[in-house]
Each structure stands twice: as C-alpha cells, then as structure tokens.
Structure 1
Amino acid sequence: MKTTKLLMSMVVAATLFFVGCSPKDADIQAAIQAKEAAGVTVAVTKGEVTLTGEVADNAAKAKAEEVAKAEKGVKSVVNSLTIKPVAAPVVITEDTTLIKNVTDATKDFPTVKADVKDGVVTLTGEIKKTSLITLMQRLSVLKPKKIDNKLTVK
C-alpha cells in the first residue's frame, strides 16, 4: 500500500513537472511576435498559433509561417495572412484627348473657361454653386492629372 501511494505520488509529481516545463501560450506569442514582420498579428491558444494581418507577398507569408513553426512549444500554425493588393497605376488622359473632352464637358457652362496643359485642367470664370458639383464630376471622370479650380462661385 505504501509502495502504491509512493509510486502514485511520483507519477503526479513527474506529470506536474513536465506540464510546468512546457512554454506558456503568452511566452510563445511574445517570442513569435518579436520575430515577425510589421503587420503580422500572432495569437496562441494551447500551442496553436494563428497568424493574421497583411504581408507584401507569398514569400513573406511563407516566412512568417516558418518562423512560427520553429518556435518551441508550437503544436500547429494557422496561417490566415493576406497579401496586400498591388495599387493600380494612375491613368492620366493625354492632353489632345483631354482638351476635346473638357470642351464637351464645359459646353453647358458658358461663363467657365477651361485650359489644359500637361494633364492639368485649369478652370477660370464664374459658376453657380449648384452647378459646380456637376461640372467637377464631369471633369473628374475624364481622368486629368489635376483640376485647378480658380472659379468664382456665386
């Protein structure tokens, strides 16, 4: 009976020792977060690591997962990182096309004069406040580099 109690006590002590030695989730999280790139968020629950956020490309996504898997105490990694979308290039209409389209867009506004140079539309003259929004919308659709509004609003 004494031997059984002693043996049982040793098993309980060994179990507690091994459980106490494994890294805590907070420690795993801090260690991984310190090694990850900006924009990567790390969450750890029972040794399972979840990566979220945005990275530049697939190589950065794979590297983040590799870093997480290498940390002691990690049982699995859920990689929920997304790739940042590449911004579409800004399209600016050529001056010859822009001049024709600006002339068409401003024909209903006889008190407005529009000049085009290097993709910049410069507006001068007078306009009613209620008509200004309509004019600006028509011009914006034409994709100029800039609209320089020097109009006098009545």
Structure 2
Amino acid sequence: MKLNNLLLIFSLGVLPFVHSCRSPESDDKLKSKIEEALADNQGIAVDVEAGNVTLNGQLGSDSLKQVIEEKTKLAGGENIKSIHNNIMVNLPEPEDAREKYHEIVEGAVDSTLTRDVNRVLKDFPTITAQVKEGTIIATGNIEKSQLDSLKKRLEHIKPKGLDMKGVTSR
C-alpha cells in the first residue's frame, strides 16, 4: 500500500515535468510552420527551442516587423511559449524600399509614404496631399516654374501612382 502511494506521488511529480519537455521533433514542426508562413519575407531567420521562437533579420520598417511577429503567432498558435523578435529595423532610402513595401505589406506602406510626402511638401506650402493605397493624391495651387520640381520629387519617393489632377499652376 505504501509502495502504491509512493508510486502515485512520484508519477504525479514527474508528469508535469515530462509534459513541459518538448521533443526536438515538435520544435522542428513548429519551425517549419513558421518558416512557411514567412516564406514571402526573405532574410528572416527562425529558431525554435522548447517552444520559444526567436526571429532574426533586417527589415525596412517597424510596421513590417510587427507583421512578421503576427504571422509567426498565427502560424505557431498555442505551440509557441514566447516570441523573441530580434529583427533589426534599418530604414532604407524610399526609392530602394518602396516597391518591396508594396509587395509585402499592402496597407502598411501608406504611413511610410505619407511621411515621405510630408517631407517633400515642406518645400511646397501651397500643396496638400493624401496617400491612399500607395497613390499620392495632390491638390493645391503652385507656381508654374515649381510644378515640374514637385512632380519629380514626388515620383522620386516611388509611389504606386501619382494623381496631380487637383494641382493648378499659375
């Protein structure tokens, strides 16, 4: 009787420990799921150890870094104990990054594009613009001599489109 009680106590004490141990196979499966979900994002390294996920790499924006973390959470679900997002954000020049932003994160590019448009418009105080789905829509009145310069500078930040129908020149 004492032996049975001792075995019962021992098994109850060991059971949580055994349950918390993860096999390398389950970590490998979790890693594969996450890597598949992040296949569109080249250069992101995924490591999994005991259900703890570590993400490494470099991206061009904080919003894209958050998208990667959300994709990781969705792919791993309850199998993830924690996520260590070590992705470094290196803000690239707009002309180098804009097309990649459009390909990877359709809606998140507008905030970055708006920031770049606002920088350009500081030199053109009579012009206002809004960004919608990667397209710059400009309005206002500008000197004829400045119109070409405005257009070139807005095109330089590589929007999906540029609508200047609302801009009049004098």
Tell me if TM exceeds 0.5: no
Give TM-score scaled by structure 1 length. Answer: 0.42
Structure in which a larger fraction of residues adopt strand: 1
